[in-house]
Structure 1
Amino acid sequence: MSSSRPAAAGAGLAALLLACSGCATGTAADQGAASAPRPATGTTAPAATAFTPYVSATTAAGTDAAGSPDTYNLAFVVADGDACTPLWGGSAKATDSAVVSRVAALTASGADVRVSFGGAAGTEAALACDSAQELADVYGEVLDAVGATKADFDIEGDALTDTASVTRRNEALHLLQLERDLDVTYTLPVMPDGLEASGTALLDDAVAEDVDVSAVNIMAMNYSSSHDGDMSDYAEQAASATHDQIAGALGLTGAEAWRALHITVMIGVNDVAGETFTLADAASLRSFARRQGAGALSLWAAFRDRACTGEDTSKASDSCSGVAQEDGAFAEALSG
C-alpha cells in the first residue's frame, strides 16, 4: 500500500505489506462482522459510506471485526516470482486451506470479501503472465478458491508504469467480466492534487478495453516529507481532485463519481517523515466522506489498529499504529 513516488518507495512501507506472518492473531470468532445499516426505504438519504479495512489473508487479528466492516480487503495476491502462478502473501497457494477457512470465518456474519491483487511488494501477476487469457485464469483461480465476486488491483511502482502489463491486465479483466459477475476496483497512489498521470492513463486504458470499473480507491498517504500538515485535509483534497478526474475518465455524474470513490488511509505513524494520521483525522475524514457520499473508507490495516507496546513509535510498524489508542479505535472512528 505504498506510493510509487521515490520518497515513499524507499521509506519502508513495502516491508509492511507482506509481513502479515507477524500480525497479531485472534480467534475465528473475532473475524466476522455485520453489514452496516442501510437508509430506510423511501428516504432521500445517500447510501452509507461503507467501511472496508485491509486484513491479512493468512493471519487473523483480534481487531479484524472492529467497526463491523461491510467488506474485507484481503491483502495481497502476487505472482510466484517470475512465474504466472498466484500466491497469497507471496507464500500460500491460491487454494490454501487456511486462507479458505479464514475467509469463511470473516464472512460468517454477513460481511463480504474483496481479493486485493498487487501491492507495493512482490510481483503483480500481470507482470509475470504472458497473455491476457493466462492472467484471467490466474485471477479466476484465486477468486474461485475463496468464492469472491469482488477484486481490487493495487497497482503501483513498476506495475503502474509498465504499459504492456496495464493493457494485459485490463484485457484479462474484460475476459473475466464476460464470463462472470465480477466487481472490479483499482487502488492507485495519489497526491493532494489528485491521481498522477500514470493513474489516469490506467483508467483510460480500462475504458478502452471495456472494463467495468466500479470504484477507484485512493491511497491517501505517502505524499512526501514536505507534506507534514493536517493529514485529513490532504486526504480530503486528494479525494476532491480525484473525484473530478474519475468523473471524466469513467463518464460519471458528480454523485456517481463520489459513490465510485474509495479512500484508504495508513493509520498512525507512516513511513514518510511528518505523516501521522490521528484519530482526530479519522473522525474528520469520516464526516467529509458522509457529506460527499463517498463509497467507502478503508485503513491499512486492521492488524495495525492497536497501540504499540515497547516499540519505536517514531517509525511505522507492521503490527501497531504508533499512536495512543484503544484496540480498534481507528476502525470505530472511520466506520462511524
Structure 2
Amino acid sequence: MVRLTWPALLTVVCAACSTGTAADTGQDAAPRAAPSRSTGGAATTAFAPYVSATTAAPTDSAGAPSTYNLAFVVAADADSCTPTWGGTAAYDSAAVKSRTAALAASGADLRVSFGGAAGTELALACGSADKLAAAYAKALDAVGATKADFDIEGGALTDTASVALRDKALATLQRSRDLDITYTLPVMPDGLEKTATAILSDAAEQGVELSAVNIMAMNYSTSDDGDMGDYARQAARAAHDQISGILGLPSAQAWKSLHITAMIGVNDVAAETFTLADAAELRRFARREGVGALSMWAAFRDRPCAAGASTAKASDTCSGVEQKAGAFAKALAG
C-alpha cells in the first residue's frame, strides 16, 4: 500500500505540536452521520487503520478502531520463506507480541497485513504452497490473529505464479482454520485494473473465501490532479461493480465486502492531497452505501508536521496538512 519504506516506518516519532491556527479545528469537519438510508443497507462502517506492528504512536487509538491492520509481514530476504516484520524484526519478536497485546487489550481485533510496497512478499519467496501456508500461519499465530490482509502491489501484482501459489496456500489454510482474509489492491478512479481483477478471479477459482476487497484510494497518477474525495468515491463505485461481478455478490453484499483505504494528507504523487474535508465526505458516502470499512495509511501519520517542515512530499511521520493529532481518524470513524 505504501510508497514509503519500512526503515522509515520503524522510526515513527512525534512530529510537532499544532500551530494553533483556525485550520486546527479541522477534525470537527466530520459530523456524525444520520442513520443510514443506504442502498447497501449497512447501518455502520467500521474503522480499521494501518499501524506499525513494532512502534507505538500516540494516535493509534484515535477514532476507537474496531480492527488494527498490522503492517507489514514480508520475507526475511528474497530467498527466504521466513516471515519477518518489515524484513527486520522476527515474526515472533517479544517486542511485537507486547505491542500487539496492548492493541488487542483495547478490545479491537488484529489483522496481520502481508506484503506492502517494500520488501519481498512471502509468495515470491516460498517454494511451495505448504511452506507458504506455514509461513503465513507462523506470523498469525505469533500475535494471536485470525484475520489476514494481503497487500498486493508492485511486482507481486503481475507475478502470476506467486498469485496462484498464494491462493493455493490460503485455500489450504482456510480448510484447517477459521481465517478471515482481505485483499488490498491498487485502484484508479475508474476502478481496479486488469492485474487486480485477475487476482480476484484466481482467488475465486481456487476457492479462497474473501471477506473483503480493500482498495487503495491513493497515488493515482500525475494526470489525476482533481479532488481526492471525488476520486475515492468514483473508485469505490467502480470497484463495487467489479467485485459484485467477479465474486458473484449482490449489490448490498458487494458494498459490505468493499473496504476503502485513503492515504491521509499529502500523497506520494504530486498534486494529490487527501484532506480532512475529503475524509468527512468519504465517511458519509461509506455509511450511505453500506461500505464495510474505512482505513487509512497510517495512524502514525495522523498528526501535524513540525513547524517549518517541508510538506511538498509525503512524510512517514505526519500528514502534511494542518490538523490536530488524530483528526483524520476521528473524521473517518465518524
Q: Which residue identity does 2:232 align to in structure 1?
A: A
Task: Name the residue aligned to 1:179.
Answer: 176
Q: Which residue identity does 2:317 align to in structure 1?
A: S
- What is the correspondence of 1:251-262 to structure 2 with a 5 Å cutoff? 251-262=248-259
Q: Do the aligned residues in 2 keep the contact of 1:24 with 1:62 (CA within 8 Å)?
A: no
Q: Does 1:72 align with 2:62?
A: no
Q: Do the aligned residues in 2 keep the contact of 1:18 with 1:121 (CA within 8 Å)?
A: no
Q: Does 1:263 align with 2:260?
A: yes
Q: Which residue identity does 2:11 align to in structure 1?
A: G
> How far apart are 1:18 and its partner, in Å?
4.5
Provide the secondary structure at the position in 1 that maps to 2:213.
strand
1:107-139 CA distances to partner (integer Å, 9 max, x unpaired)? 112111100000000000000000000000000
1:212 corresponds, among 209, 216, 221, to 209
Q: Does 1:20 align with 2:9?
A: yes
- What is the correspondence of 1:30-41 to structure 2 with a 5 Å cutoff? none
Q: Does 1:58 align with 2:54?
A: yes
Provide the secondary structure at the position in 2 that maps to 1:195.
coil
Unaligned runs of 5+ in 2: 15-34
Q: Do the aligned residues in 2 keep the contact of 1:58 with 1:89 (CA within 8 Å)?
A: no
Provide the secondary structure at the position in 1 that maps to 2:10.
helix
Task: Name the residue aligned to 2:329.
Answer: 331
Provide the secondary structure at the position in 2 that maps to 1:274.
coil
- What is the correspondence of 1:123-162 to structure 2 with a 5 Å cutoff? 123-162=120-159
Unaligned runs of 5+ in 1: 3-12, 26-38
Q: Does 1:94 align with 2:83?
A: no
Q: Which residue identity does 1:263 align to in structure 2?
A: I
Give the Cα–Cα distance (whole angstroms) in 1 for the partners of residues 283 and 166 of structure 2. 32
Task: Name the residue aligned to 2:313.
Answer: 315
Give the Cα–Cα distance (whole angstroms) in 2 for the partners of residues 94 and 282 of structure 1. 33
Q: Which residue identity does 1:54 align to in structure 2?
A: Y
Q: Which residue identity does 2:67 align to in structure 1?
A: T
Q: Do the aligned residues in 2 keep the contact of 1:56 with 1:74 (CA within 8 Å)?
A: yes
Task: Name the residue aligned to 1:244.
Answer: 241
1:150-177 CA distances to partner (integer Å, 9 max, x unpaired)? 0000000111100000000000000100
Q: Do the aligned residues in 2 keep the contact of 1:78 with 1:87 (CA within 8 Å)?
A: yes
Give the Cα–Cα distance (whole angstroms) in 2 for the partners of residues 56 and 205 of structure 1. 30
Q: Do the aligned residues in 1 keep the contact of 2:104 with 2:110 (CA within 8 Å)?
A: yes
Give the Cα–Cα distance (whole angstroms) in 2 for the partners of residues 165 and 14 of structure 1. 23
Give the Cα–Cα distance (whole angstroms) in 2 for the partners of residues 215 and 128 of structure 1. 25
> How far apart are 1:147 and its partner, in Å?
0.5
TM-score, normalised to structure 2, is 0.90
Q: Which residue identity does 2:106 align to in structure 1?
A: S
Give the Cα–Cα distance (whole angstroms) in 1 for the partners of residues 41 and 224 of structure 2. 35
Q: Does 1:229 align with 2:226?
A: yes
Provide the secondary structure at the position in 2 that maps to 1:46.
coil
> How far apart are 1:80 and its partner, in Å?
0.9
Q: Which residue identity does 2:74 align to in structure 1?
A: V
Task: Name the residue aligned to 1:33.
Answer: none
> How far apart are 1:47 and its partner, in Å?
3.7
Task: Name the residue aligned to 2:289.
Answer: 292
- What is the correspondence of 1:103-118 to structure 2 with a 5 Å cutoff? 103-118=100-115
Task: Name the residue aligned to 2:17.
Answer: none
Q: Which residue identity does 2:62 align to in structure 1?
A: A
Give the Cα–Cα distance (whole angstroms) in 2 for the partners of residues 45 and 142 of structure 1. 35
Larger deviation: 77-86 or 165-174?
77-86
Q: Do the aligned residues in 2 keep the contact of 1:118 with 1:124 (CA within 8 Å)?
A: yes
Give the Cα–Cα distance (whole angstroms) in 2 for the partners of residues 281 and 46 of structure 1. 21
Q: Identify if the C-alpha distance between structure 1 residues 177 and 248 changes in structure 2 by more than 3 Å, giving closer, same or farther.
A: same
> How far apart are 1:271 and its partner, in Å?
1.1
Q: Do the aligned residues in 1 keep the contact of 2:265 with 2:320 (CA within 8 Å)?
A: yes
Give the Cα–Cα distance (whole angstroms) in 2 for the partners of residues 90 and 282 of structure 1. 32
1:198-242 CA distances to partner (integer Å, 9 max, x unpaired)? 100001100111000110000000111111111010000000000
State, as a whole percentage, how many aligned pairs show the same letter.
69
Q: Which residue identity does 2:52 align to in structure 1?
A: S
Q: Do the aligned residues in 2 keep the contact of 1:57 with 1:89 (CA within 8 Å)?
A: no
